[in-house]
Amino acid sequence: MLGLMQQRPLLISTLVDYAAQWHGEREIVSRDPEGAIHRTNYAEVAARAKRLANALDALGIAQGDRVATLAWNGFRHLELYYGVTSSGRVLHTVNPRLFPDQLAYIMHHAEDGYVFFDPVFAPLVEALAPRLPQVRGWVSLSDRAGLPDVKVDNLLVYEELLAAASADYSWPPLDENAASTLCYTSGTTGNPKGVLYSHRSTVLHAFAACAVDGLGLSGRDSFLVVVPLFHANAWSVPFSGAMCGMKLVLPGPRLDPESLFALLVDEGCTKSGGVPTVWLNFLTWIEANRASLDLGRLRLKTVLCGGSAPPRAIIEKFHELLGVFLLHAWGMTETSPIVTVGAPLAKHDGMSGAALVDVQAKQGRQVCGVELKLARPDGGEAPHDGVSVGELKVRGNWIVSGYFKGEGGQVLDEDGWFSTGDVATIDPDGYVQLTDRLKDVIKSGGEWISSIEIENLAMSHPEVFEAAVVAVAHPVWQERPLLIVQPRVGFAPTRESILAFLTERLPKWQVPEDVAFVDSLPHTATGKLLKTELRQRFHGHLAVAG
Subset of residues 329 to 358 that bind its own copies, contact rule: CB under 8 A: 336, 343-346, 349
Question: Strands 432-437 and 418-426: what pairing?
Answer: antiparallel
Which whole-number Å values give the CA distances from 211 to 216, 217, 240, in the listed order?
5, 7, 10
Q: Is 362 noted as a catalytic residue in this protein?
A: no
How many Å is the maximal CA-CA distance in the chain?
A: 78
Choose, by CB under 8 A, the member of 95, 191, 218, 419 that binds its own copies: 218
Q: How far apart are CA 150 and CA 140, in angstroms?
A: 10
* CB-based contacts of 431, cutoff 8 Å, min separation 6: 342, 359, 362, 363, 364, 365
What's the DSSP call for residue 369? T
We find the least distance from the C-beta atom of residue 296 to its own copies, in angstroms, to be 16
Subset of residues 383 to 402 that bind its own copies, contact rule: CB under 8 A: 395-402
Subset of residues 436 to 475 that bind its own copies, contact rule: CB under 8 A: none
We find the least distance from the C-beta atom of residue 483 to its own copies, in angstroms, to be 36
Subset of residues 475 to 534 that bind its own copies, contact rule: CB under 8 A: none
Phi, psi of 301, rounded to the nearest 5 degrees: -115, -40
Residue among 151 and 347 whose Cβ is closer to its own copies: 347
Catalytic-role residue among 40, 69, 93, 185: 185
How does 66-97 read in b/e, with b if 16+ C-beta sit within 10 Å?
bbbbbbbbbbbbbbbbbbbbbbbbbbbbbbbe
Q: How far apart are CA 241 and CA 251, in angstroms?
A: 16
459: left (phi over 0), alpha (psi -120 to 50) or beta: alpha
Subset of residues 171 to 210 that bind its own copies, contact rule: CB under 8 A: 175, 177-180, 195-201, 204, 207-208, 210
Q: Is 185 noted as a catalytic residue in this protein?
A: yes
Subset of residues 21 to 50 that bind its own copies, contact rule: CB under 8 A: 22, 26
Q: How far apart are CA 474 and CA 443, in angstroms?
A: 10
Q: Interacting stretch for its own copies, rule CB under 8 A, among 8-16, 124-132, 146-154, 446-454? A: 8-16
Angle CA(286)–CA(527)–CA(273) in degrees, nearest 5?
40
Subset of residues 48 to 87 that bind its own copies, contact rule: CB under 8 A: 63-64
We find the least distance from the C-beta atom of residue 252 to its own copies, in angstroms, to be 23
Catalytic-role residue among 443, 447, 466, 533: 443
Residue among 347 and 508 whose Cβ is closer to its own copies: 347
We find the least distance from the C-beta atom of residue 527 to its own copies, in angstroms, to be 34
Choose, by CB under 8 A, the member of 86, 366, 420, 444 that binds its own copies: 366
Choose, by CB under 8 A, the member of 403, 448, 477, 501 that binds its own copies: 403
Q: Is 334 noted as a catalytic residue in this protein?
A: yes
Q: Is 417 noted as a catalytic residue in this protein?
A: no
Catalytic-role residue among 362, 448, 455, 531: 448
Q: Catalytic positions, please? A: 185, 334, 443, 448
